[in-house]
Every structure is written in structure tokens, then in C-alpha cells.
Chains A and B, each alone.
Chain A
Amino acid sequence: VPARALAGALVAAALLAAGCGGGMAPSDDGTACMTGGEPGPLLVEERTERPQVPPYARRVTEDGTFWELSAVRVTVEGGETRFEPQPLRWRARWSVPPADLERIRAEIRASGILDAPERIAPQGTSIGGSDVTWTVCLDGRTHSVLLHGAPDARHEATDRLKRVLDRALQAGADAARPSGGG
């Protein structure tokens, strides 16, 4: 038992060190929005997976925290963008302002994503495309939409949600700047 407890403590410490401390509390609706040791409870996530490369994901949790899962560290210096490998793990970036968080919730309800097909794929054969999975969790409902073979696979609801998410993340980045919006 002591060994098991020690192992559990080590795992918990590792998760915390990896930035996965959030989301361990249960959500109001039970476990629907839990994400198994990853940042949560989840509100919206856009996860992109491509052949040959690690996944990339953007996630906003219920509390408005913006998390990024990436194996590439991007830096911009003097207008030049550099890409360097980094360990694949979730990293908290900044928080989405409450008003924008509410816009995301409203768009989840209005866009129709909660009722969109679970899998959308272009007709014919596609090789090398991305699998983009949108997952939303709101009002006790969880729903995922897989766009298999993006960019050819698209859906109006996810396009709408992407626009609102982009705006919300930009607003969060602006708010996080010391000057409050750059």
C-alpha cells in the first residue's frame, strides 16, 4: 500500500508538473465534461491531427483558461517566426475574458454544433488530410464532430465556432498584455 500511495503521489506530481492540474474536479453534470487527467472541465476544444506529426489542440475550459497542446514552440523575433520542437503537453496560455467566454457559449448553442454529424468526410478518397475534432461540452451535453480529411471536410457550425473562438482568444491575448490590449 505505501508503494502504491507513493506511486499515486508521483503520478499526481507529474501531472501537476506537466500542467495538467486543472480539470480534476467533477463538473455539475457528473463526468460528461471530464477529460481524464487533461485540463478541464472542457468547454470547447479544436484538436488537429495530421499524419507524421504530433497533434495540436486548442482548448478553453469552463473557467475560461486557454490551453494549448503543441509539440512545436513558436517564437517571433524581428518579424521572423521560428519553430522548434518541444515536449508534447498541455500548456496554459491565458484566460478568455468573461464576455468572450459567454460569446463562445452562445455560439455553441446557436451554431448547431451540438446537433452536427459526428463525422464529416468529403466524398471520394482523401490522403494526407487533417482530422480536426471539435468537442464541446455545455448545458450537460457533450458532443464531438470529426472533420475527416480537412480542409476538404468542413461544416458550417464548426466554421462559425472557429471564428468566435479566434476572436475570443485574441481578446484574451490582448487583455493579458500588460498594456491591456497592445
Chain B
Amino acid sequence: VSRPAPALRRRRDLDHGVPPAAAPAALLPAEERAAEESADACGPACECDECGSRSGRRVVARSILDTVGQAISGAVGAVVDAVGDVLDIRECEEEKDALEDKEDFLDGSYGPEDLRPPTGLGGFGAAYDPRAEVLTISLRGGVTFTDGLSIDAAGNVTAAAGAHPNAGAAATQIMSLPVEQRAAAVAPWQWGGDKATWLAGFESGIESAWGAQHEFHCTRRYWEDIGAQVEVEVTVHEGAKADDEHMSLTVFKVPDTFVGGVGVVSSGGGGALDNRMTLNSNDIMARRDNLLVPQAITFAPGSTALGAAAGQVSVIAATYAAGLTPSCSYCGKNIEGTSGPVLTITCQGDGPDRDASARARFDAITAALTAAGFTDTEARTVFVADTAADGQTCRVVADNGAAQIVAAHEAGHMFGLGDEYAVGAGSMITGTGRTAGQATRHDQLVRDMGLQGSVAENNDNIMSVGNVVRPQHYATFLWALREVTGMQEWALGPAGIATLPTCSLGPGDFPVPSPDGPQYA
């Protein structure tokens, strides 16, 4: 007999409020359960050697389990098996039940369901197809196109209510133009025939940014070969949001040269289908005020002393302060890419020995960074010499230096994630964010993934000031997968090979696949 209430929640069960039962892992011996849980906590982000140890036990591929399943349901023992199943008296009952449950699970469909994560932010659809092993995350909405600036018949220029402050500055400047020049100046702030292009760019930009960045696998015993690739589907149209869509989106038209993202996501009390997003038209492109590239530091000719530029270095130190250092909950190893942004400092040199001059300038900057409170300076700074010709400038780039695409960041809020960027005294980034090291809104969900957490920090993370979707940013997708399947036993990382049945279904009762076979791919 299948284990009672195996925590699977089919689509047909979603409305019945069936509480999830204890996970099957609870039936395992304590030390084995501990090992399972520890291993489950290890995703690819951990890079722990120990994390891979479990893979050696996964020696049975899905094709074998299919064969086993066929054996179980074979004609020879069909009736006996059914009776034994009911009475729980079959040989290898636990393993057979697990495999039967698995077949039931694979025959099911899960979602689509509109969800708002426990962060209280955003909303999206989630559906899981177990045969295709695809988790589809959908985002749907209606778009209102709004002119960033307007001009009336008398030549009066006004910025749209809620537009970015720099639109107000532009309006002020255009006000001062001769009236006959104002219409031409306002034109780039007004929508024309470019709406369809914008809609397509919004959809594809978010889909490519968020889709297929990481994947999940099932951690239930014997089911470990079940995976979940993540596909993101975005569908937006001009006009009001329909009742079954997640967001109403307002887009201010600005010139492509406009500086300043305006991204806003507001989530009302109506759940997954009650959200508003605001963007500028150029927020689907890389922002022009790249927050990962602070101003260059310029030295006096022939000098390697910072002088007045020391203040700039202090700002850089405050801006790129490290947050806490998340580490794998299994082995304690720091998780790559989350231990503070790395600064690449490209220095020019001058004088008789340009290389030495460039290096001395780099050293002066790193010393000043440390003095200003920058931590792990040696590990978090990289020197690059630019000595093809005499020069006095050092350019600082944080992490990968790629300017953020604001629309993709805002989509992260629709997926339920909070901001990760940090503000603080002396930083070049102001606002209502949190100080470096403080837990973010999605911290707990990240912990639920087995990672150590999420903290505020200015780095190339998509929910900070960059574009990189790291494992922690799939926290709400993993939560959604658990919700729609009604099963908690999912973890970060690709599917493995199912655990070998150890009873009479063990090695020798069926053909062993070649290690080179496709089942090992």
C-alpha cells in the first residue's frame, strides 16, 4: 500500500486543503535521515567535495526503474501483488510502494497555480510537468503606455506624475527652450509606433534573464532522478490587466539616452493577481548609470599618492562593503560569489617605469580601501596594468561590471524576491535599502533551499545592482515547485540517478545499464 498521504498534492487536490504529511524521509533511520538531509542541503553552489559523495549510491537509472515498475505490475504477480499491496505484506514493500508512488506522481499534472510567495511580494504562475521535468513559471500582465513628458497647445511642458526625478529635470530644461523647439525636444518622451517592439523586448529580456539558470531535483528516496528544468514565460499586452493576469504595468516613455531606472513593484492585498509595476521605456536595456562602475580615480602626473582622491576611495569602500559570508550548511565552505564583491582595478602608469607606477597606484588604492574599512582586500581586489601609454587614471569595476537591466530586476520582485542592494553612510548608493550584511526579504526562503541565507550587498546579483541570477534567486521558484507538487522533497541542483533498491529488486535481478548510456547523461 502506498504510504499514507505521501505529501503529493495533485491539481485535483489543491482546493481541499489536505495538509502535507510527514516526508517519507522521516521513516528512515536517524543517521541515514541526517545524511540525506545534509546531502540535500548541498547544491552546486556549495562546491563541497562531500556533496558529491552521495552520487556514488545513485547507480540505477530511470530506465531500470521503469523496468522494475513493469516487473511489479507484470502479469505473473498482478493479483498477488495487489492483495499484498493492500495488506502491506509484499516482499520489499517499502521499495515497491515508493516506486508505485513515483509512477503515480509521474502520471500527474501539477498546476498551473497562481502564487504569491511568503515574502508577501509579487505573483506568478507555476506549473510542473513531471514527464517533461519542466517547471514553468509564468508572468502575465497588461501594459499602459504613458508619455514621460507632455506638451500642450500653448507649449507648456510637464513631466508625468510618478516619472523619474530626472524627467522633472528634463522638463525644467525643455521649459526654458524657445516654444518652437519644445515639441521636438518632447517627442522622444512620447510613445509612437514602438509599443510592439517594447512588449517583445520586455518578454524576451525577462525570459532569457531568468529562465534555465539553475534546476532542481527530487530528493525523495528512489525518486532522485526526477528533475525540474525552469522555463520562464512572460506574456504582456497593451491595455488593462485581465482578471487572471498578475500585474498591471505602466511604462513611461523616455529617450534611450535617459539616465535613471524607475522600477517599482507594488503588491496589493489581493494576492498573486494584485500587482503593479512601473518602468521607463529604456529599462529593458542596460541602465546608463552603471552602479558597478564607480568614477575613475585620477592621480597627479608622476604621483602615486591618492591625495584628494582618497575621498573617492572611501566612497567605494562603503559602497562595496561585504555582507555576511554565506556558507554551505553541510560543510561550512563559503558559497562562491556571495562573499563580497570583487573589485578589478585597472591602473595606468607614467614615468620611467609605467608598470611600477601602475602597481604603486593600485597599492595606494587598496591600502586606502582597507583603511576605510574594506574587508578581505587582498582577496577582493584584482590588479590589471594598463601601461601601453602614459596615464594617470585607475578604473574600478565591481564584480562583472555589467550594467543592470532594470526590467529584469523588477521581474525578480514579481517573483517574490526583495532587494539585495545595500545603502549606508558614505556609500554612493542611497535610498531605502538595507545596510550591508542585513538579511533580505527572501532570506528565509534561501535558507529553506539549504543555502545559508541572503544579505544586502552591492554586487552583480540581479536583486542587487547587477544581472546575475544566482542559486539563491531561485528560492521562490523552489518554493513554488514545492507548493504545486505538494511535496517538500525538492532541492537545488540537477537530477541525479535514483537510489538503488536494496531488496529483491537489487543488482542481479535486472540488467545494469552501461555507464556510457544516455541514462547517465
Contact = CB atoms under 8 A, between A and B. Distances in A.
Specify which of B120, B168, B182, B185 lies most central, judged by the most chain A CB atoms within 10 Å of its CB.
Answer: B168
B188 A48 contact: no
Nearest to A181: B179
Given A52-B465, A53-B289, A127-B419, A94 B176 contact: yes
A85 to B, nearest CB: 8
A75 B184 contact: no
B169 interface: yes
B418 interface: yes
A50 B178 contact: no
A52 B429 contact: yes
A166 B159 CA distance: 9
B193 interface: no
Contact of A51 (B120, B255, B432): B432
A79 B165 contact: no
B264 A52 contact: no
A61 to B, nearest CB: 16
Most interface-central of A58, A76, A162, A181 (chain B CB within 10 A): A76
B74 interface: no
Nearest to A78: B184
A168 B263 CA distance: 29
Nearest to A66: B172
B431 A49 contact: yes
Contacts, number: 172
Interface string A91-132: 001100000000000000000000000000011111111110
A27 interface: no
Given A52-B291, A159-B161, A166-B158, A58 B266 contact: no
B188 A169 contact: no
Contacts of A74: 166, 169-170, 172-173
B264 A76 contact: no
B177 interface: yes
Given A75-B173, A79-B185, A181-B179, A130 B421 contact: no
A124 B266 contact: yes
Interface string B429-441: 1111100000000
Contacts of B413: 127-128
Contacts of A150: 161-162
Interface string A67-87: 010101011100111110000
By size class, the interface of chain B is: 35 or more
B310 to A, nearest CB: 18
Contacts of B261: 52
B265 interface: yes
A122 B248 CA distance: 15
B187 interface: yes
B197 to A, nearest CB: 20
Given A49-B431, A52-B431, A53-B430, A128 B258 contact: no
Given A76-B177, A94-B176, A179-B178, A48 B266 contact: no
A152 B249 CA distance: 12
Contacts of B260: 50, 53, 72, 83
A111 to B, nearest CB: 15
Contacts of B162: 130, 150-152, 154
16 contacts: A48-B165, A53-B430, A68-B172, A74-B172, A81-B255, A124-B267, A125-B267, A126-B265, A127-B413, A127-B419, A131-B432, A149-B264, A150-B162, A154-B162, A167-B156, A170-B155
Given A68-B172, A83-B260, A125-B121, 16 more contacts: A51-B430, A52-B291, A52-B465, A53-B430, A70-B165, A74-B169, A79-B181, A81-B174, A81-B255, A81-B257, A122-B268, A128-B413, A166-B156, A169-B175, A177-B176, A182-B178
Interface of A: 48-56, 58, 68, 70, 72, 74-76, 79-83, 93-94, 122-131, 149-152, 154, 159, 162-163, 166-167, 169-170, 173-174, 176-177, 179, 181-182
Interface of B: 120-121, 155-159, 161-166, 168-182, 184-185, 187-188, 250, 255, 257-269, 274, 276, 278, 288-289, 291, 410, 413, 418-419, 421, 423, 429-433, 465
